[in-house]
Structure 1
Amino acid sequence: MSAEKFPRQIVGAAIVDSLVQPTRLLAARRTAPEQFAGMWEFPGGKVEAGESDIEALHRELLEELGVTIDLGTEIVGPVPGGWPLNERAVMRVWLAEVATGEPRPLEDHDLLYWVPLAGSAELADLAWIPADRPIVSALLTQVAAPI
C-alpha cells in the first residue's frame, strides 16, 4: 500500500535570465497530459521519497531541460506547501538562473520560450496552465523594479 502524502508536493522554477536583474522568463510548453498539452508552465515536477524539495527541483530541471541552476528566492504561495495546483497537489516555486547547460525541451515539453517580463503583453497572453497563472502574477510583483 502506498504511503503517498496528500497534498502531493511539486516543485517548479521560474527560470530568469538573471537573478540580479531579471528581464526574461523561460516558459515551457507541455506535451501531456492531454488537458494541458500546448499550455505553458514553470518547469519542475514531483518530489520523490527521500528527496528534499530543493534536491527534487535540481533533479527535475536536469532531466527536463538539461541544465543546472543557481537558486534564488522562493515565490511564496498562499498555502502551506506553496501554490495549490488541484485538490491533491501544491507547488513551491523558486526564482532560478541557468548555471550550466543550454535549456532544451528533453522531457514533458516541446518548446521553450524566453518571454520578456516587462514592457510587453506576451507573458500575460501565453496560454498558461490555469494553476500557474497566479504564480506568474506573483513573480511579476516580486521582480518588479522600483519606480
Structure 2
Amino acid sequence: MFYDDFFQKCHTKELDNFIHEDDILLFKSNNIAVLYYFFPLIERLAIELLDLTSLVNIEHKDQGTIRTVNSLLHQEKTKEILGNSLIKKLEKYFKDDGIRNKIMHYNNDINKIQIDKEDMQIIKYITIQLASLYEEELKKIDSIKIERIDLIKK
C-alpha cells in the first residue's frame, strides 16, 4: 500500500511526535474506529503545516483560539501551500455534513454512519500527504542559513 513506503523511511523527530512507526497498524485497518485517530491527526498536521509556513493566520488574534481546518481551507494562501487536489479532498471530509463531523459529533437520532473503503483509503492518503508536506516544510526551514545579522542602532 501507499503508506508502506512512508513508514519505511526515517522521519524527523518533529513528525515522529505525530506519527509513530507502530501507527502503521492503524493504516492497515479498515475499522471505522480508526477515523477517531485520523481526523484529529489530519487537523493537527494541517494546523502545524500552515503554522510552519507563517503565511496563514491560524489564530484569531482577538480571541487566541485556533481556527478550524474548514475555515483555513478557504484562505488563498492555504490553497498555495496544500494545492487544489488536497484542498478538495479535505473539503469533502471536513465540510459541515462530511464524514468527519458525523463521526466526531455523533447524533443518536441518525444512529448510522457509512463510509466505503475508497473513502477510508483517501482519508489515510490525506494523512500521508499532509505528513510529507509537513516534513518538506521542516527541511526548508532547516536549510535556511543566516549569513549576517547587523545590529540596528537607535
Normalising by structure 1, we get a TM-score of 0.28
Q: Which has the higher helix share?
A: 2
Normalising by structure 2, we get a TM-score of 0.27
Q: Which has the higher strand share?
A: 1
Structure whose alpha-carbon radius of gyration is higher = 2
